[in-house]
Amino acid sequence: MRRPHSGRGAHVLLVVENVSLAHDHRLRKQAASLVAAGYEVTVVCRRDPGNRRLPGVRVLDYPAPRDADGRLAFVWEYAYSWVAAAVLMWRAWLLRPFALVQVSGMPDVYAPLAVPFRWMGAVIVLDQRDLAPEVYLARFGGHGSLVHRVLLACERASFRTADHVVTVNESCRAVIRDRGGIPEDRITVVGNGPHLARVRPATRDRHRDVDAAGGSCCWVGVMGPQDSVELALRAVAHLVHDRGRTALTAVLVGDGDQRPALQRLAVDLDIGANVCFTGWLDEEDVFAQLAAADVGLEPNLEAVVSPVKVMEYMACGLPFVAFDLPQTRSLGGSGGLYAEPGDVPAFAEAVHRLLTDSELRAASGEDGRRRVVDTVAWEHQEAVYLDLLADLLPTRELERSL
């Protein structure tokens, strides 16, 4: 049974580097849960007009640097953000000392910024979502290079700086334990499921027959090199040109440094008329797109990632197609179909199968929705998160009184 929580007005600082609060659904869910539990919440992040739309949250933000398009630019982006975050963390402390600071990785250079606050009694929590060394390799290659080795060293230092590490799945927990040398009792898995109360029900009948030349697909996320969105476009091209689905529409919701290249690729593949790039949308509009689609697309190839988009697809009752990776299958179960990693024709054929078979499409959508309602939704993860913070804060208060 979930126990009641009362933050008793304790001040919690949430720090994230590589995204704004407006575009970080996990951070928004955490912040909203903390406010509802009675905590005072301040967020340090990149600037965005939508940052201040979350009631009860104080936001201290800084102008975003240009997205990195090379190794030196990558270093500059994080150096600039590191200094900006340090200044704003001290500003938050001067406004009111905080009892706990949560740093959301990656990158893994922010946790040391919290060390001075530990000396003044604050608890340090690292919320590890992505693994910076793996993301760097996906973007630039260079296994064993100087930058790669530095990222590994920063990762270990961040793990060991934190009083406790929160992460998104069991694969990341294993990396934190084995590569970081952190004992199990200092690691907690808090999933990143969608908030059911904010999910729009499906507006399209999943049982309906889809025209042989048509159908609607949707992809949601950040368009970075590691996200493999180009594979989704190639699958759409296969469906249009090889399967004759000339009226197929594919809606790509989101943005990122790969968007211009993806738009050029759509034209080169002669599917420009079939693909719509919407840019960033509000959460409500994102779920509206998912509710109206027939199939969700997840072309991710990173084995340790828990794909948020798959959870969002399932919450809307939207069946999906993904590459068969451990965390994706663990999350998705029978909510979708899977293709051999990197096999674009097989990926496209799985989409075609769902579009063709209305009973399979409906059954997969229902199974996925049930999976989210029963286990994956934020409503289930929230209790684990709030219990952890409630346990950590009294521990530090006891240590300060000795």
Q: Which whole-number Å values give the CA distances from 123 to 21, 27, 60, 119, 141, in the listed order?
A: 22, 18, 20, 10, 35
Q: Model confidence over 81-126: pLDDT tens digits?
A: 889 999 999 999 999 999 999 998 776 777 888 899 999 999 999 9
Q: Give the pair of three-digit tokens for residue 89.
A: 């963390």
Q: Domain 196-375: which topology?
A: Rossmann fold (3.40.50)
pLDDT exceeds cutoff 70 at 73: no
CA distance 3 to 107: 33
Among 217, 386, 184, smallest CA distance to 298 is for 217
pLDDT at 279: 93
Average pLDDT of span 314-320? 93
Asked whether the predicted pLDDT for residue 79 surpasses 60, the reply is: yes
Per DSSP, the three-state class of 135 is: helix
With pLDDT > 70 as the criterion, what percentage of the chain qualifies?
Answer: 91
Give ranges for CATH 3.40.50.2000 in the chain: 11-193+377-397, 196-375
Q: Which of 68-77, 231-240, 268-277, 360-369 has the lowest mean pLDDT?
A: 68-77
What pLDDT is stored for residue 72 in this prediction?
A: 65
Could you tell me which residues are beta bridge partners of residue 254?
221, 279
State pTM to two decimals. 0.81
Check if CATH label 3.90.45.10 holds for domain 11-193+377-397: no
Nearest-angstrom CA–CA distance, 336 and 32: 30
Q: Which of 131, 141, 130 is nearest to 221 (CA)?
A: 130
Digit-coded pLDDT (tens) for 324-373 = 998 899 889 999 999 999 999 999 999 999 999 999 999 999 999 999 99
> Which of 10-14, 146-150, 255-259, 377-381 shows the lowest per-residue confidence on average (mean pLDDT)?
146-150
